[in-house]
Amino acid sequence: MTTLTKTEGAPVPTGSDPFLSVRDLYVRFSTEDGIVKAVDGLSFDLQKGQTLGIVGESGSGKSVTNLAVLGLHNPASTEIAGEITLDGQELTGARERTLQKLRGNKMAMIFQDPLTALSPYYTVGRQIAEPFIKHTGASKREGRQRAIEMLTKVGIPQPGLRVDDYPHQFSGGMRQRAMIAMALVCNPALLIADEPTTALDVTVQAQILDLLKDLQQEFGSAIILITHDLGVVANMADELLVMYAGRAVERGTVKDILTAPQHPYAWGLLGSMPRLSASVDEPLHPIPGSPPSLLNPPSGCPFHPRCAFTSEVGGTRCADERPLLAPGRASACHLTAEQKHTFFTEQIKPRLG
Ligand SMILES: Nc1ncnc2c1ncn2[C@@H]1O[C@H](COP(=O)(O)OP(=O)(O)OP(=O)(O)O)[C@@H](O)[C@H]1O
Ligand SMILES: [Mg+2]
């Protein structure tokens, strides 16, 4: 896609090459209604042993971004531009065979919807064992043993029996856990976890998050964690990327963003997400308006139609000029650093409690 222009620079200046680097990523879908601009010039980096949290409203492009990293979009209807590099290897131009070798082995994904990942026609055990056998050359018997071990790790009772069940014989939560077992079976160096624990109850959720931490500790894996749960982000992630309308609007350490967010959208998001520390009767503050159409996204800053601070920027700048994300800790907003600080501390923070 040669017509697309570069928009954003390197995210975080670091001494060494990042393990995963995404540069100026664009993902566009051709549909009957027109072109859906699902990811619009996104850049981020991830180092080994680190966890990057990605947050943003439904439809902001979180899953589409990560499916692009894994090379899972249908090339017939998807236009992808930009550069994705994993451990020095360029993925965007890679052949399907190369990607297939990497998937399940070096990089794996816990999908938002378990039914996307599990086939109804094969037993759960066989599906967990398959990538292990394929990538390690283990025997069928060893594969089955490994599947039982993985089912045990994700807390499936009677794993020796359940290993021979088909996905429909599992409950929704069990299917989710089987899929997690499948993603972790080869100890992937890059794990993408898309809402991995949403369907699980709290104790199982904690067990799964511990499992991800173990993987990271033992193998130095890099993790991308997509979640709506700020409690999970605070507990798991090092850096955070806030996405809106297919773009990164804010980037920084989890601590910085949760304690002193800079972008008006991040202010809204924090107020609209349930927090672990919140009391039960504390009201949530949904962001007014609705997410933009990606067929025809707003000009300038995509958040401007919903933003309460455009008059502070003045004129029609927010509608006319796309704010860029500077390297390092940054937010893509035309407010000055001083305005961001003042508005957050004086107007937003008191409301967040
Ligand atoms: N195959 C596709 N064809 C057309 N549009 C698509 C396709 N896949 C995703 N989209 C659109 O791209 C946008 C981003 O979708 P994506 O699934 O990445 O959102 P998300 O941030 O993961 O949301 P959620 O939190 O609901 O999972 C949405 O508007 C979605 O409708
Ligand atoms: Mg999603």
DSSP-derived pairing of the beta strands 107-110 and 190-194: parallel
Query: Which atom of ligand 1 lies at the shortest distance from residue 291's CA?
Result: 29
Which residues in the chain show pLDDT less than 70? 1-15, 274-284, 353
Q: What is the pTM of this model?
A: 0.92
Predicted pLDDT of residue 4: 45
* Ligand 1 pocket, mutate which of 31, 40, 60, 233 (most atoms under 8 A from CB): 60
Residue nearest to atom 19 of ligand 1 (CA): 59
Say which residue the tokens 């004086």 belong to.
346
**Ligand 1 interacting residues, C-beta cut-off 6 A:** 29, 31, 36, 38, 56, 58-64, 112, 294
User: What letter represents residue 96's amino acid?
Assistant: E
Pair 245, 294: CB distance under 8 Å: yes
> pLDDT digits over 288-347, tens only?
899 999 999 999 999 999 999 999 999 999 999 999 999 899 999 999 999 999 999 999
Predicted pLDDT of residue 2: 33
Say how many Å lie between the CA of residue 263 and the centre of ligand 1.
Answer: 23
> pLDDT digits over 198-215, tens only?
878 888 888 889 989 999
Predicted pLDDT of residue 5: 45
- In whole angstroms, give the CA distance from residue 30 to residue 226: 25
Predicted pLDDT of residue 301: 98
